[in-house]
Amino acid sequence: MPLPEASSTASAKARGLLLGVTLGDAMGAAFEGHRHVDGEQLLQQERATTRLRYTDDTALTLALARHLAERSNPAPIDEDSLAVELAREWQREPWRGYGRGTREVFERVLRGTAWPEASGGGFQGRGSYGNGAAMRVAPVALVGTSPQHVVELARRSARVTHAHPDGQLGAMPQSCAVFLALHSDPEVPLERGRFLHRLARTVNHAEWRSRLEEVRELLDEASPASAAARLGNDATAGASVPLALLAFLRHPDHPAEAVRYAIRAGGDTDTTAAMAAAPTAARTGERGLPSAWLNRLENAATIGALAEALAERVPRCR
């Protein structure tokens, strides 16, 4: 699957990816924890003119993006540095709404504990299976050279805070979806069954294969509420990444619709909307994002500039 040739396309797609994550997060933040979100509530949020503020999902995505931008292939992740950089990002703006487990990991890292111990010490030594590693993983798709490479980068980026295997596994299909969408041609309809098959083959884990199979079963008809009832919509990786993938696959060429679907499903809305927007906007590029939302977004220029720095690293083909 060749990457479109023009570097302006790589730039537009990278900008779409990072700005899409941020918009999904910021649009969903107002509803995080709501059991149901009706169309009227969502419309009010869309019509508002107030600044759109993002949360921990974006803050950590940008920290990972900066980490990747400062390093070169073939080893773009240094876990010792990444753990400290993520923790410092939390320390800089702790009010962005972080998960309790991740906050505790960051406190330990900033006290000087090495990341394997800091990450492994959470949840009575089981480690976190929260969705915090999956929600921030999208930028690894910009530097990865193949699906296998991307999921390995995802696992390494995840384990500095999420020691539980499911916390790491959640980041793998999410990163792979963003990579495949980034390298897809938006002029050619996405073959959704084939897309899910590639995800399942790359992640190669029985429990996640069955989650992806459930997503396949819901591709054509499920309402957001029934999808949430079947797949889950909470702050764990296993009960949020499948819903986000479904939202993307329901609307692979329309980031705003993917975001609306994820938010209407309720629960961890900032995170599922951010994760749904990442592959969708990586596929369409920035032009797929509503300008009315972008105009309200905090730090949009800085985020766009970071995306352009990473766009230079997107491989031309694989």
Which residue numbers belong to the known binding site?
A: 55-57, 268, 270-271
Q: Residue 2 has what DSSP assignment?
A: P
Place of tokens 């390298």: 183
Q: What letter represents residue 221's amino acid? A: E
Pair 280, 261: CB distance under 8 Å: no
Residue among 55, 168, 174, 202 that touches Mg ion (CB under 5 A) = 55
Which residue ranges are tagged as binding site for Mg(2+)? Answer: 55-57, 268, 270-271
Closest by CA position to 131, among listed 279, 259, 232: 232
Which window, 62-70, 92-100, 192-200, 288-296, contacts Mg ion (CB under 5 A)? 92-100
Residue among 36, 100, 201, 316 that touches ligand F2R (CB under 6 A) = 100
For 130, phi and psi rounded to 5 degrees? -70, 170
Site string for ligand F2R, 213-252 (x = CB under 6 A): ----------------------xx----------------
Closest by CA position to 171, among listed 134, 208, 202: 134
Residue 161 binds Mg ion (CB under 5 A): no
User: Which sign, positive or negative, has the C-alpha torsion 61, 300, 68, 113?
Assistant: negative
Closest by CA position to 76, among listed 286, 317, 316, 312: 312
Q: Which does 236 bind (CB under 5 to 8 A by kind): ligand F2R, Mg ion, none?
A: ligand F2R
The structure tokens listed for 197 are 């098959």
Residue 61 binds ligand F2R (CB under 6 A): no
Give whichever of 207 and 217 is closer to ligand F2R, judged by the CB atom: 207
User: 3-state DSSP call for residue 247?
Assistant: helix
Residue 85 binds ligand F2R (CB under 6 A): no
Q: How far is the CB of 30 from ligand F2R (least distance, A)?
A: 10
Pair 244, 262: CB distance under 8 Å: yes
User: 3-state DSSP call for residue 283?
Assistant: helix
Q: How far is the CB of 208 from ligand F2R (least distance, A)?
A: 17
Interface positions, 105-144, toward ligand F2R (CB under 6 A): 123, 126, 128-132, 135
Site string for ligand F2R, 17-36 (x = CB under 6 A): ---------------x----
Contact residues toward ligand F2R (CB under 6 A) are 32, 55-57, 97-102, 123, 126, 128-132, 135, 164, 235-236, 268, 270-271
